[in-house]
Amino acid sequence: MSWLTFEVRTTRRAQLVNITERVAEVVERSGVQDGICHVFIPHTTAGVTINEGADPDVAIDVESHLGELVPKEAAFEHAEGNSDSHIKTILVGPSCSAPVRDGKLSLGTWQAVFLCEWDGPRTRRVEVGVSRH
């Protein structure tokens, strides 16, 4: 399996960025007809998830409610001031996978792949691997 990397420039501290088209492009270029697409984020304060992309308000709600669940200002030991970002990254996870069918990324009707930025704005790397069955 070969991995391809692309970069995403985020613009806010907490931001879900829809990266579906860029992931789908890697899948199509891989030439794999049937297999699995893996997405991995090599960072400790950004992750990835698959969720609703049809209504952009869902991503806005995730940003604000995870912010309430894990507030930035709290009693943390880690002195960098971004413990909340590390914890939110654990909640969404560093990777996800989806089926590849007929040479295309095969998501559910309402699904999209989101880079989850929790300590932006920054430039983030997204690694995409496509493997055959």
Give me the residues that bind Zn ion (CB under 5 A), please.
Answer: 80, 82
Q: In angstroms, rounded to a whole number, what is the distance separating the alpha carbons of residues 47 and 98?
A: 16
Asked if 112 and 53 touch (Cβ cutoff 8 Å), the reply is yes
Complex with Zn ion: residue 15 or 82, whichever CB lies closer: 82
At closest approach, how far in Å is the CB of 24 from Zn ion? 32
- Residue number with CB closer to Zn ion (49 or 89): 89
Shorter beta-carbon distance to Zn ion: residue 21 or 80: 80
Give the Å distances, CA to CA, from 54 to 9, 33, 37, 41, 98: 22, 26, 21, 23, 18
Whichever of 10 and 82 has its CB closer to Zn ion, that residue is 82
Minimum separation from the CB atom of position 40 to Zn ion (A): 19
Q: How far is the CB of 49 from Zn ion (least distance, A)?
A: 20
SS3 at position 88: helix
Percent helix, strand, coil in the chain (nearest 5)? 25, 40, 35
CB of 38: closest distance to Zn ion in angstroms? Answer: 25
- Looking at the DSSP assignment, which residues form a beta bridge with residue 4? 128
Residue nearest to Zn ion (CB): 80
